[in-house]
Amino acid sequence: MNDLGLVLVGVGLFPYNVAGDKNFFTRLIPLLAKGCRSIDVLSINDGSGSERQELDGCQVTYHNTKRAFHLGDRSRYCCGQGSLLDYHHKHQPAREIAEILLTTLVQLPKLRRLVRNGQVDAIHFMDNMGPSMPLVKRALPGPMVTHSAMAYAPRGRFYDRYLQMSMRALDRIIPYSQAYATRLRDLGIAPGRIEVIRWGVEPREEELGEADRSRVRSAYGVRQDARLLVWSGFIQQIGEADFRAALEVARKVTEARPNCRFIFAFKPKSFRPEFKELASPAIRVETNVERFAELLEAADLFYSPILRLDAIVAPPLTWLEAMSLGTPVITTAAGGVDEVVRPGETGFVARSHHDLADVVTRAVDCTELAEISQNCRRFIAENCDIHAVAERYLTLWREGRSRPAP
């Protein structure tokens, strides 16, 4: 039933996969198209013009929108094949908020035209666009306005106030964890405006065969009897400090367990050449890994500790992708972690960075990793199937057309 008119708004959205959490929406859009007559993706990036495609009778249009103003330096990089460019934007939060607000003001006439001409039923913000979101809600009172709340990462005394200002006027807020939903309620967001929908991934039906697993490990110089741990950065909740702390623990573990190997696999945009100098015989530092999914599935463990325990993680999409491949996660006890990474069942959790080396060592020594691997695959299939996630989004927007906001 293709009956919805949908507008998606975010930063760096592309009609192809890139190295980041936005892959969730890239993969979700074709599934949403099965229930929509039109989808317009308003993507803030370094591109211009529009790209159109038809999916299951739904017209999907990517509108490439440059930021109206740049209040600081930026570095540009090509994000893959196609006409779109993304950039790694490094700003102070105040500058970032100002840029997004000004860009939304400039783009508001385009949103008005889309609503007027396309009979839009819902506008969904894939990023927190700050004061821009309630501004759009007030300027365009007809469509339902919703927002995906990825993670809670406090950055200063006004952060909670910023979230309240951004979200209170919206029809629905969609956090990816119960922990974040609880935090939003604590901030005064009406419970009826909150609906938890997890990240979704495509469950893997076929496992990597032993021959392919051996091939992948051999390509990185890892023996079949070694324990291989893969780290990926930077994901949304992880920065350089997390990387260096994880590297320090990896060195301790490899000293205690010489048969243990670590691969730190960077996205190109967050890699610096000097990181290579931190490698050792037991620790490799790589970037631009072409077949990262194979490496992740060939690994025994996905190593992803988080320093900021006051943050509430989604948890990261990469964790769910690792688990769908049967690779258990090792991390620290940030908010929301326990909803997915269950100690001894789907992964391993350290109380803090100080306990991490002991937890990693226990994980490396664990004789039940094969059973934990199957638990991971089963958890993803039962709780994070992207097809079921798409249906929940479509149901939310359909019901919103006929039901007033709480």
| pLDDT, tens digit (0-9, with 9 covering 90-100), for 192-209 | 999 999 999 988 778 889
Higher pLDDT, 25 or 82: 25
Rounded to an integer, the average pLDDT of 40-68 is 84
> In the chain, what are the domains?
4-200+385-402 (3.40.50.2000), 210-383 (3.40.50.2000)
pLDDT at 89: 41
Residue-wise pLDDT for 271-327, tens only, equals 899 999 999 999 999 998 888 999 999 999 999 999 999 999 988 999 999 999 999
Global pTM value:
0.89
pLDDT digits (tens, 9 = 90+) for 99-121: 788 888 888 888 888 888 778 99
Mean pLDDT of 315-343: 95
Phi, psi (5° rounding) for residue 326?
Answer: 85, 20
Helix axes 132-139, 159-167, angle to 10 degrees: 20
Strand partners, 5: 38
For the chain, give the mean pLDDT: 88
Q: For residue 123, which of 150, 96, 144, 152 has the smallest C-alpha distance?
A: 144
- Residues of the chain above pLDDT 70, percent: 91
pLDDT for 178: 96
Q: Could you write out the three-class secondary structure of 164-221?
A: HHHHCCCCEEEECCHHHHHHHHHCCCCHHHECCCCCCECCCCCCCCHHHHHHHHHHCC
Do 297 and 328 contact (CB within 8 A), yes or no?
no
